[in-house]
Amino acid sequence: MTAFSQQTTRPLSVPDSTQKIQVVETACGQCQFGLKAKGCSLAVRINGKAYFVDGTSIDEHGDAHADDGFCNAIRKGEVQGKLINGRFKVTYFKLLTTGVKPPQP
């Protein structure tokens, strides 16, 4: 017996035309935003407050330890999603090529 299912969620690369796209700062939550957790995890900063991201990971967007990677630079990104229990549940994520901020000394 073979079963097939339809994909019920939109790919992260396709925005929902019914929702607003936000431009946010994005980086490693621990290395750049001072969030507390083990390892390195993707985070966004919205209105000055940082949140860990659910729905995509730090490793899905290149080498986090490269000069312009999330552990070494704060980047700009377009996102859609919702804050749920203190975490940002992303439904759309696009890393922008401009807006790289080098680490603060």
Among 7-16, 35-44, 80-89, where is mean pLDDT lowest?
7-16
Q: What is the pTM of this model?
A: 0.80
In the predicted model, what is the mean pLDDT of residues 71-92? Answer: 96
Q: Which two tokens stand for residue 95?
A: 């890393």
pLDDT score, position 12: 80
Give the pLDDT score at 100: 54
pLDDT at 66 over 50: yes
For residues 27 and 101, give the distance between their C-alpha atoms in angstroms, rounded to a whole number: 10
Between 78 and 68, the higher pLDDT residue: 78
